[in-house]
A = this chain, B = another copy of it.
Amino acid sequence: MAQQSEAVHRAPLNRERVLSAAVVLADEAGVDSLSMRKLAQELGVVPMALYKHVANKEELLDGMVDVIVGEIDTRPAGSGWRSEVRQRVLSARAVLLRHPWAHRVLESRTNKTPVVLDYMDSVIGMFRAGGFSVDLTHHVMHALGSRMWGFTQELFDDSQSAPADVPPEMLQMMAARYPHIAEMAMAGAHDDGSVVGLGCDDQFEFEFALDLLLDGFERLHQQGWTSARR
Contacts and interface: CB of A to CB of B under 8 A. Distances in A.
A187 B135 contact: yes
B213 A134 contact: no
A28 to B, nearest CB: 19
Q: Is the interface of A mostly helix, strand, loop or mixed?
A: helix
Interface in A113-167: 114, 117-118, 120-122, 124-125, 128, 134-135, 137-139, 141-143, 145-146, 148, 152-157, 159
A180 interface: yes
Nearest to A219: B215
A200 interface: yes
A171 interface: no
Nearest to A143: B209
A205 interface: yes
A137 B213 contact: no
Size category, A interface: 35 or more
Contact of A154 (B108, B135, B145, B156): B145
Given A104-B108, A180-B124, A181-B124, A145 B138 contact: no
Given A137-B184, A139-B208, 17 more contacts: A104-B107, A114-B177, A117-B177, A120-B155, A121-B181, A128-B180, A134-B183, A134-B187, A135-B187, A138-B184, A142-B155, A142-B205, A143-B213, A146-B155, A148-B155, A204-B229, A216-B216
B124 A184 contact: yes
A134 to B, nearest CB: 5
Interface in A200-220: 200-201, 204-206, 208-209, 212-213, 215-217, 220
